[in-house]
């Protein structure tokens, strides 16, 4: 019998099961792919499904299998480029996918965190070497702004928590 509690905390499921399975086997199920989409992005699932179906409208499983297989063969830079160029995913979604699959190499691109770490917002649509370099700078700032002993993933969590905390404190003291 399936233990559905594993899906209750989606982040634990993704980083505890999905990412390690991809790292070991280079595979990703359609179900797990869409768990990533739901986890960190504001993308409507139907929009992502339609982008995938543009490659093969009959079988999403085949499309996601191909996507994962190709990702497993590429360098970090080429992985991000592949998701943005070939699949037309915007930077926030592409970085979220790669963060789950390779949490030591990628962090989620988040406009709120850009503001917090004094990083310029990046255009989310068009892949280029310049965008890659700016993403790396954003990643460096994430690494520098959070406690040094934390993993890259925990640095992002810490910064997200700070954004939440600061916005709540601001809201509570705002008299307007």
Span 78-122, pLDDT tens digits: 999 999 999 999 999 999 999 999 999 999 999 999 999 999 888
Confidence check: pLDDT of 41 > 90: no
Confidence check: pLDDT of 56 > 80: no
Joined together, the tokens standing for residue 135 give 């993403």
Instruction: List the Cα angle 166/160/114 in 5-degree steps.
Output: 90
The pLDDT value recorded for residue 170 is 83
Q: What is the mean pLDDT of the chain?
A: 92
Q: What is the pTM of this model?
A: 0.90
Percentage of residues of the chain with pLDDT beyond 70: 97
Domain ranges in the chain are 4-173
The model's confidence at residue 164, banded by pLDDT at 50, 70 and 90, is very high
The pLDDT value recorded for residue 176 is 55
Distance CA 53, CA 60 (A): 7
Q: Are 104 and 70 in contact (CB under 8 A)?
A: no
């Amino acid at each position: 019998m399936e233990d559905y509690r594993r899906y209750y905390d989606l982040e634990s499921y993704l980083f505890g099961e999905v990412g390690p399975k991809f790292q070991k086997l280079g595979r990703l199920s359609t179900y797990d792919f869409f768990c990533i989409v739901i986890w960190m992005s504001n993308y409507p699932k139907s929009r992502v499904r339609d982008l995938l179906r543009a490659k093969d409208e009959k079988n999403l499983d085949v499309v996601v299998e191909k996507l994962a297989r190709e990702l497993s063969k590429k360098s970090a830079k080429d992985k991000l480029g592949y998701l943005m160029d070939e699949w037309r995913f915007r930077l926030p979604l592409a970085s979220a996918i790669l963060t789950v699959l390779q949490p030591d190499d990628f962090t989620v691109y988040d406009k709120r965190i850009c503001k917090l770490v004094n990083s310029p917002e990046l255009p989310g649509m068009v892949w280029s070497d310049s965008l890659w370099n700016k993403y790396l700078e954003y990643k460096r700032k994430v690494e520098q702004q959070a406690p040094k002993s934390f993993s890259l993933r925990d640095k992002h969590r810490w910064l997200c928590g700070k954004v939440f905390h600061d916005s709540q404190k601001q809201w509570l003291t705002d008299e307007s």
